[in-house]
Structure 1
């Protein structure tokens, strides 16, 4: 005889599969978590292994980099020291240069002052020489003879050109050195510049403006007589004659030095 299950039995029978399914799902979730945890652990282990391997590979490189950095640091320290030494040297030389510049400027100023002083002294010396030379004449190209008497020679020159001569007309007469083995010129100093000018006037008049030939004194040599010139005036006169040769000037002469 069949019996109809009661309501409680039916509820109990229906609840048993539901609980079993719930337990299955819970177990499945737990297994999935465990697998994920294991996979994460494996991944972690692999990552750590890779990092350790990379670290081992990079360790020598990092060591070399640290070594290079140490060397660069040492070089930088050396460069900084050299730069500081160079800066000190530059400051020292700059100070020395400033001192030398001041000294050079001072010397340059003194040099300019000395040049002006020398020029003034040369100008005064030239004036003194010209004043002394205002009583002198220069006789050129008169041959030298042994034991010659220059006073007698000048007296004969006076006679040849018809110029008055007395015992006190000439104060001194002498020869001066000449270059290149040429005949040494004679310098005759008169007692006064008036007597000197009178002699030159008589000489030009007697010679008619041409170059004289005093055969009794010089043989066939031409004798040239001119007023005495200082070395500076003689140099200037030389350049003046050169300009006349170049037709730049028509005449060139001297007068009172």
Structure 2
């Protein structure tokens, strides 16, 4: 709205006249907005122009992409087919291997059964051979620790046997010797084997030798009593055992020493153990028997 100003009063209180132009300049524009709008040019909005796509180019790109995908799928299908073939061959190989494994397993079981049967058969043969060997030695005795003479003959061995018979109080006419010899002649104190005529004669010699040693515990049969030159050594008389029984006897004596068995001896080619006088007698027929005794302990 226009502003009006009151002119100052004069001394006489009368108002001053104002020039029409002055009054016009002192007033505001009645419509500023309309005046501004007539002087300013309105701006027009700018529009982006879109480039038209070429449909033929898009189709070519799509075809290229499609061909690429098809080529990849074809390669993938070929690879899958090869893998399937390999799986089939692998399955056939696994089936063949499994079949062969079953055949081998069956053969191994059969071999194991045959081995057990052969082992039992071999053991039975060993027992038969050992029995035959022991029968051949049934009338023989061993005399150990008799020193060897230079140029020793069978007659020298016979003389030594007669001296032993005299010491143990056995008349020499009561025994008949079939053969007498040394084993391992290279050794100075090798064993002398005496093959007597009967088993009864063998048992008589062993019984009297045992009786003599028991009655002379402080001076058992020795080389000094036989008037053999050299250091005094004990003379042992025992059965002539087969190699298997001899080993078993050795193991039994070793076991008896460890477990403090008081008696360990052989009789008729068999090995026996006794813990102490009056205790149960134990016959040892094989090494397994000694193993069982260890386990039972």
TM-score by length of 1: 0.68
Report the equivalent of 2:97: 93
Report the equivalent of 1:227: 239
Match of 1:201 among 167, 185, 207: 207
Q: Which runs of 5+ in 2 are unaligned?
A: 1-49, 270-297
- Is the CA contact 2:142–2:193 (under 8 Å) kept in the aligned structure 1? yes
> Are 1:72 and 2:84 matched, yes or no?
no
Report the equivalent of 1:213: 222
- Is the CA contact 1:153–1:217 (under 8 Å) kept in the aligned structure 2? no
Match of 1:137 among 141, 160, 166: 141
May I ask how many residue pairs the two structures share in their alignment? 211
Match of 1:245 among 245, 257, 261: 257
- Is the CA contact 1:142–1:218 (under 8 Å) kept in the aligned structure 2? no
Deviations 1:81-119 (A, max 9, x none): 222222222232233223323332332332222222112
Report the equivalent of 1:29: none
- Is the CA contact 2:147–2:188 (under 8 Å) kept in the aligned structure 1? no
> Are 1:191 and 2:197 matched, yes or no?
yes
Aligned equivalents of 2:76, 2:184: Cα separation in 1: 81
Match of 2:163 among 149, 156, 159: 156
Q: Which runs of 5+ in 1 are unaligned?
A: 1-42
Richer in helix (by share): 1
Question: Which is bigger in relative contact order (C-alpha 8 A, separation at least 6)?
Answer: 1
After TM superposition, what 4+ stretches of structure 1 lie above 4 angstroms from structure 2?
45-48, 58-64
Aligned equivalents of 1:235, 1:218: Cα separation in 2: 32
Shift in Å at residue 178 of structure 1? 9.3
Aligned equivalents of 2:212, 2:260: Cα separation in 1: 30
